[in-house]
């Protein structure tokens, strides 16, 4: 059936036709084919901040001061200006309208960092239901930190990491959570995952997954810590037992374990625990053991199999460390285990070190499944059910429209063509699975990245929030449907191109989740102020 892509025709069609069931949102999104950020204001006069992102509901633009001390929050507005002539579309925008503050109103500026701490500008999580923002500040990293007190050797240390929970409406700091002499990977939110009101923070140094809850009141409440122990009261249980035993040993009488030591629980690890397997490792090893044990019925064959496949590698399994975690739902975590030599940037040298992912149920404290990062079975799950790995919070419906190879035929085709081109299939599987667990809130929900609407070069731009090396060529967004035409271009940097063509330029793109509005920020490596362009629909 012939469908006009003319916006008037579309509005008319919307009036008279009912779209097929469950496709109304898809239909409505097609209007974005007509409403595109095709007009660019180059080199906008704007405050010299580092712009982080638009919140996923489009309410706020988050930015940090250049000295990484202050948080500045803007409210995106649509520019307004008046024009005396009749046909004002023909005119260029008046210079006042071209300014940054005609698009954005500053709401407030709050100092977050104190004395020797700096804001981690790569870290920001947004809790949409309450309009809370989570920010992090930290002191400098110490690379050759001694591995004291049960810390993993080879992991850097940060003297103080503070998470700040803010109400974005007015910038009020609601709560803080401090980690001392610890290491949380804050780059691109890697070490922290927010799901609904649950927050998982991975302490790499102490191999603990801290589960916190963000209450509506704005408090960060510890729910449990997974690592040495699995249940929230395991340590208390152990201590109360140990004390009960010690007393009965001393008094030679039947002292029942009591709960009186509750206040002393966190005053240090019980030193008797050092030689035992940490709780999460016990679960992992018993899961692997059970699997191998049940696989083979014959005693002798089973014994051999266990010897070769389990006991031989026992220490390797024990030495695995938790690298990254994401929620799959409110109960299940996807945990990546790898060797400590893998380095914080595991994905880069994924090939050299074995890595594993496990699904862990926090409530039953069971490992549900465990795969090596080269497992074809896991890859197939990843290919077919990618969206299940993108755990998004309940109320962010628009997150369902972020294109992935599981919900978008074009993305799937692209993935398959990469797979077919790959010479080594196991390398390919490892490379693809290196993105698991996913980083939290790392993708822009902007409809212009919807691959069923537009086609673009994902090496230059994509929904994933990353800095990219930029060229002087504008990035083209081409319609996926008839008439397959070039709809708009995004060009970072000065209009005329850079004076020095050889200088390396890094660009980042901030797309508003709803409006046809985007910022492109281009930076040359030599500490020059960045060039900010505003792209919008005029």
Partner 1 sequence: MMISGGGGRSSWSSSTSSWVPTTSVSASGKRIQREMVELNNDPPPDSSAGPKGDNLYHWIATIIGTPGTPYQGGIFFLDIKFPSDYPFKPPQVVFKTRIYHCNVDPDGLVSMGILKDDWSPALTITKVLLAVRSILTNPDPYNAVVPGIAHLYLGDRAKHDDIAAEWTVRFAK
Name 522's bridge partners.
507, 531
| Closest CB to partner 1 among residues 223, 285 | 285
| Closest CB to partner 1 among residues 5, 286 | 286
In a 10 Å sphere around its CB, with 0-12 CB exposed, 13-18 middle and 19+ buried, how is residue 300 labelled?
exposed
Contacts of 89 (CB under 8 A, 6+ apart): 538
Residues in the chain: 538
Minimum distance from residue 251 beta carbon to partner 1 (Å): 10
| Closest CB to partner 1 among residues 265, 277 | 277
| Closest CB to partner 1 among residues 233, 500 | 233
Minimum distance from residue 44 beta carbon to partner 1 (Å): 52
| Closest CB to partner 1 among residues 156, 354 | 354
Minimum distance from residue 302 beta carbon to partner 1 (Å): 7
| Closest CB to partner 1 among residues 138, 240 | 240
**CA torsion angle for 432, 433, 438, 442 (degrees, to 10)?**
-10
Residue among 54, 16, 39 nearest 508 (CA): 54
| Closest CB to partner 1 among residues 161, 226 | 226
| Closest CB to partner 1 among residues 267, 300 | 300
Q: How far apart are CA 480 and CA 468, in angstroms?
A: 24
Helix (H) or strand (E) holding 12: helix 7-16
Ordered strands of the 468-469 beta sheet: 39-41, 531-536, 517-524, 505-511, 468-469
Minimum distance from residue 279 beta carbon to partner 1 (Å): 7
What does DSSP assign to residue 207? T
| Closest CB to partner 1 among residues 70, 232 | 232
Packing angle, helices 376-384 and 425-433, rounded to 10: 60
Residue among 496, 373, 391 nearest 435 (CA): 373
Q: How far apart are CA 129 and CA 478, in angstroms?
A: 34
Q: How far apart are CA 451 and CA 456, in angstroms?
A: 8
Q: What are phi and psi of 299, to 5 degrees?
A: -55, -50
Q: How far apart are CA 99 and CA 166, in angstroms?
A: 28
Minimum distance from residue 359 beta carbon to partner 1 (Å): 8
Q: How far apart are CA 243 and CA 120, in angstroms?
A: 43
The structure tokens 């990618």 sit at 386
Q: How far apart are CA 456 and CA 487, in angstroms?
A: 11
Alpha helices in 17-116 (DSSP H): 24-29
Helix (H) or strand (E) holding 302: helix 299-306
The residue ranges that bind partner 1 (CB under 8 A) are: 230-231, 234, 237-238, 241-242, 244-249, 252, 254-257, 272-273, 275-277, 279, 282-283, 285-295, 299-300, 302-304, 306-316, 354, 356, 365-366, 368-372, 374-375, 377
| Closest CB to partner 1 among residues 292, 479 | 292
Minimum distance from residue 6 beta carbon to partner 1 (Å): 52
């Amino acid at each position: 059936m012939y469908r006009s892509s003319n916006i008037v025709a579309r509005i008319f069609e919307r009036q008279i036709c009912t779209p097929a069931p469950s496709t109304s949102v898809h239909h409505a999104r097609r209007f974005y084919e007509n409403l595109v950020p095709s007009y660019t204001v180059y080199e906008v006069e704007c405050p010299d901040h580092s712009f982080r992102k638009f919140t996923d509901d489009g309410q706020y633009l988050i930015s940090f001061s250049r000295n990484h001390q202050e948080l500045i929050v803007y409210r995106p507005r649509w520019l307004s200006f008046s024009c005396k002539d009749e046909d004002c579309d023909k005119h260029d925008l008046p210079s006042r309208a071209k300014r940054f503050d005609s698009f954005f109103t500053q709401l407030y500026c709050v100092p977050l960092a104190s004395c020797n701490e700096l804001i981690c500008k790569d870290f920001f999580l947004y809790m949409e239901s309450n309009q809370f923002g989570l920010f992090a500040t930290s002191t400098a990293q110490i690379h050759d930190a001694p591995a004291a007190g049960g810390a993993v050797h080879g992991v850097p240390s940060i003297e103080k990491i503070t998470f700040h929970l803010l109400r974005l409406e007015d910038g009020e700091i609601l709560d803080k959570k401090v980690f001392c002499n610890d290491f949380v990977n804050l780059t691109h939110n890697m070490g922290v995952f927010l799901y609904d009101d649950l927050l998982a923070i991975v302490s790499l140094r102490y191999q603990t997954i801290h589960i916190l809850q963000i209450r509506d009141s704005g408090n960060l409440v510890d729910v449990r810590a997974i690592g040495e122990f699995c249940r929230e009261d395991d340590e208390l249980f152990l201590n109360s037992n140990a004390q009960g035993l010690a007393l009965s040993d001393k008094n030679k009488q039947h002292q029942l374990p009591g709960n009186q030591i509750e206040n002393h629980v966190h005053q240090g690890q019980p030193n008797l625990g050092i030689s035992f397997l940490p709780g999460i490792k016990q679960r992992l090893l018993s899961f692997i053991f059970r699997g191998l044990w049940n696989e083979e019925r014959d005693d002798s064959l089973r014994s051999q199999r266990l010897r070769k496949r389990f006991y031989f590698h026992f220490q390797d399994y024990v030495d695995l460390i938790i690298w990254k975690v994401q929620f799959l739902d409110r109960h299940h975590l996807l945990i990546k285990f790898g060797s400590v030599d893998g380095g914080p940037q595991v994905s880069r040298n994924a090939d050299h070190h074995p890595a594993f992912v496990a699904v862990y149920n926090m409530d039953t404290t069971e490992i549900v499944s465990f795969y090596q990062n080269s497992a074809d079975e896991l890859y197939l799950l990843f290919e077919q059910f990618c969206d299940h790995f993108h755990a998004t919070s309940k109320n962010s419906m628009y997150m369902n429209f972020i294109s992935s190879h599981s919900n978008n035929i074009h993305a799937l085709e692209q993935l398959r063509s990469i797979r077919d081109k790959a010479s080594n299939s196991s390398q390919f599987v490892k490379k693809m699975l290196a993105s698991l667990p996913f980083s939290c809130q790392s993708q822009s929900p902007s409809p212009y990245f919807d691959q069923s609407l537009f086609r673009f070069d994902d090496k230059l731009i994509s929904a994933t929030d990353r800095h990219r090396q930029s060229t002087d060529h504008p990035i083209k967004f081409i319609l996926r449907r008839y008439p397959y035409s070039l709809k708009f271009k995004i060009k970072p940097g000065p209009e005329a191109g850079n004076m020095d063509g050889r200088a390396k330029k890094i660009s980042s793109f901030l797309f508003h989740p709803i409006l046809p509005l985007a910022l492109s920020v281009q930076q040359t490596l030599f500490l020059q102020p960045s060039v900010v362009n505003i792209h919008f629909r005029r």
